[in-house]
Structure 1
Amino acid sequence: MQPKEISLEFGTVYIHENILIAKLNEGILFDLESNQKLLDIGSEVFQNENYAYISHRVNSYAVDPMVYIESASAKNLKAIAVVSENEMTRRNAEEVEKKFYKDNNCFEAFQTLEEAVRWIETRI
């Protein structure tokens, strides 16, 4: 299945079978307003089906950790993965961002997209 692509002012979202993958723009602040747009897309696309979110961090940007508290309230969002080749980005996700997500077992950081997808398949 060819993923559907949605361009937003802060990045691009790719919709796969049960996964939203976002590549956000260099230098942005990913805040509550931007996160709500992604949650709305997830809710609309997947409706009552379980899905996961992958933050594919090919660019450098800041994340307001409060987005994870907001994301935890999305009933059918079952897992969040951060993918980055940068070890410092992965470590920051694991040591800081993960603490804000209510279910630590459903938030992980990976070096490759393939690793993240394999992990997600065990969570949905």
Structure 2
Amino acid sequence: MLTKEIELDFGKLYVHENILIAKLDEGILLNVQSNKRLLKLGAEIFKNKDYGYISHRVNSYAVDPMVYIDSAKTSSLKAIAVVSENEMTRKNAEGVEKKFYKDNNCFSVFRTLEEAVVWIKTRI
């Protein structure tokens, strides 16, 4: 059940129980600065409670893999999922982005949002 929608200048965030779901805008670059804003919002919304993050990639955009270094340092962020119907996007997330997310937290890639939500809930 969706509880809140947050409008950002580079996309939208949806708060679903203890999950942040991001639908970012076409053509943006998710860089370290933008990611810090997402992590800050996660900390404010969940107040040090464990949560998961789903990147629902309905639009095509670039991700600076360095964002995963800060994300991995966020102890309350327990899992990251990437959702895309595009096979190339999924392969890139699995083959490149995942390698930068180095900690005990989990990173996985899915074809549907429903699969990602079920998986995230098992990690929190």
Where does the alignment leave 5 or more consecutive residues of structure 1 unmatched? none
Write the mapping of 1:1-124 to structure 2, written as runs, cut at 5 A. 1-103=1-103, 106-124=106-124
Q: Is the 8 Å Cα contact of residues 6 and 12 (structure 2) preserved in structure 1?
A: yes
Q: Tell me the CA shift for residue 16 of structure 1.
A: 1.1
Q: How many residues align?
A: 124
Q: Which runs of 5+ in 2 are unaligned?
A: none
* TM-score under structure 1 length normalisation: 0.96
Cα deviation digits, residues 68-111 of structure 1 (max 9, x gap): 01101111000000000001100100000000001376000000
For the structure 1 residues 94 and 55, does the alpha-carbon distance in structure 2 shift closer, same or farther, using more than 3 Å as the test?
A: same
Q: CA deviation at 1:10?
A: 0.4
Moved more, 2-11 or 93-102: 2-11
When normalised by structure 2's length, the TM-score is 0.96
1:98–1:104 CA contact under 8 A, matched in 2: no
SS where residue 27 of structure 1 aligns? coil
Percent of aligned positions that are identical: 73
| Structure 1 position 48, deviation (Å) | 1.6
The one-letter code matched in structure 1 to 2:116 is A
CA contact (8 A) 2:12 2:22 kept: yes
Q: CA RMSD in A?
A: 1.1
